[in-house]
Every structure is written in structure tokens, then in C-alpha cells.
Structure 1
Amino acid sequence: MSSNDAQLPQSSATAQPARTASPVQAAQPTQAAQAAQPVQPAQAAVPQYAPPQYQPPAQYAQVTPGGGQRGNAHAPGSLNVPGIAALALLLVNALIPMLTPTFYRLAASSDDFQLLGTILSIVNIALLLTAGALAIIGLVAKRMTRWRWAAIGAAVAAGIGLVSYGFSLLGGLIYQFSSSF
């Protein structure tokens, strides 16, 4: 390579008329200047996300951040009253052991413990069976969709209560037969 070849690009650059800079070329110096400056939090670009693909079913009311509801103000279906009543009966059934000492003190005055034990057992089993029946009614009814969890919980609790009562009855019978020998 000769020295004339090395000078050729310089002379051709001066021989060409001055061109106006394109927007891309004009933006390059400003981008380089911006890259040298630290990015401020206010200048950070907010990413653009696609709209959500999943749309919740129309049967559920959507709560807005302000606390109000959008769409339907009331969810379709009616309140599961049998399930709620079954839970209330199970609450009463759970409170009976708290009152049992008071009942036994009253029975101590008349020495009628056998009748009191029978009455408490009948009340216990009646509450469990009634709560179980109401829970099943609440589960079977298709139009009562609101608070359906109450019927599910009552059915499970009544089932466990009946199993527990059955084991207690079985234990009492085993004790009664074993003491008679």
C-alpha cells in the first residue's frame, strides 16, 4: 500500500458535498450521551404487558380497589341456609359438654343420673343427625351456591361427630359387657 492510498479516503470525504444527517444518525450522539448519564427512576421505561388472557366467569362479582363492586352487585344463586343452620346446630352440640356439669348437679338432688345420661345422649344424637341432614340438603341443592362451604363443613363435622358418638357408644357397651363377667 502506498501513502497515496491511505490519503484517498480522506480526500474523497472532503470532495463530497455535505449531507444532512438522517434521524437515526442524529439520534446516535444523543443516545451515547444518555448512556453516559445514570438512569433516573422517573425516566425508567415502564414495561408494557399484554392484557390478561383469563377472564373470570361473570357469576363472580369483581371487587375494585375502591371497595366497590363491578358488574353484578349480587352473585347468582341464593344463600345456603341449610348449611348455615347445620353449622349452628353443631355449635349448640359443641356447647352441651359445657352445660353437662350443671345438669348433673341438678340431677344429683333427685338421684336420677340414668335419665339425665339418656336425655343427653338422645339430644346429642338428634343434633348430629339433624345437622347432617341439613348439611346434605345444603349440598344437594344446586341453586344455593352462596356460602356452600358452610354445608360442606357441616357435613364433614357431622360425619366426624357421628363416628365419634358411635365409638363412644361401642366403648360403653364393651365396658358394660366386660363388667358383667
Structure 2
Amino acid sequence: MSGEEVIGRLNELELAVEEIQETLAAVTGQRIPLLTATVRHAIAADIESMEDLPNEGREFGERLHELERQLVEVDERLAQFGDISPEVSTKKQKFVAILEYAANKQRGDQSRVSVSATEIKGCVGVSRRYAYDLLEEMAESVEGCQLREAQSIQTSTGVKQKRKALLVDCEEVHSNRGDVNQFTTGGGE
């Protein structure tokens, strides 16, 4: 190889190196900040430098894992209620519908609600007599439910009649998932 050939080849290599440097400058100058900004927005973290990425990514992964765990728990709770259609046909579906009605009736920090036979009749579409039977059965078989017998209460304006009702402790019923689960997975009917 002659001196001119070496110089020509050296010039070609210099041009190739310059082209590679320009490409790297474009990538590192534009794309890395773009990628960093994308990651910063995706994980909602304040990333100042590339060194922050591993820790922030790990924390994001932990938060994501916790949210997935909570989602599984919520899905399991929903599954306990089963498929409740507008027409409840089995006793367990009726029990679950009545418990859902009680939970919806609950207001504020009130933990216990009363559900009357009339409300049960409207809630699950049964006769008044069968509604009273359901009241009694639920009081016996669902933990957190008890029967309030009909009673007369003396008030300053006279006598007030309280009808027979199911008293549902919503916190106890809904925290003790086993009892509700019994009615939605075929354990009790």
C-alpha cells in the first residue's frame, strides 16, 4: 500500500468515525432525554439523572405489585357475591341480595341496619310470609345478623310499633367473608 492509498483510507475512516459520532450525538442528545422523560411520566417520579432510574423503577414495580395484589383481593371479594341476576332463584342468592341491600342501606358510620320483611319482599321478589321465613333463617345462619322481634315502644306521643326485622351488622357480615361465601359457593342452601 502506498502513502497515498494509506492517506485515502485514513480519510475514509475519519469520515466514518465522524458519521458514527454524529449518529451517537443525535441518539444521546435527543432520544435518551426523550426516553428519560417518558419513563419519568410513566412512573410518576422525579428523575434527575440516569442513576435515579433503577431505584425509581424498583419503587414503581413494588407499587404496581401492591396494586395487582389489591386488585386480586377485590376480584375475590366480587366473586364471593356470585352472579346475581335480577331474578334471584336460590336461597343463597336471596341471602346475598338481602346482605347487599343492607350494605346499600347503611349510612355513614352506622354499622347496623334493620331490614324489614317488606324490604326483603321487594328486594328478592318473594311473598310476605316467605320474607319472614328468610328473616328468621338468616338470623340463625348468618353471623352478624340477628332477629328483632316485633315490639311496642312507649314514646312521649304514644305507642310506636316496631315490626319484626333482621338486624344486620354490616361490618361483621362483610368482614367475615366465610359466612357470605357459604351462600355464594354452594356451601349452604
Larger CA Rg, structure 1 vs 2: 1
Larger RCO: 1 or 2 (CA < 8 Å, sep 6+): 1
TM-score (ref. length: structure 1): 0.23
TM-score (ref. length: structure 2): 0.23
1 or 2, which has the higher strand percentage? 2
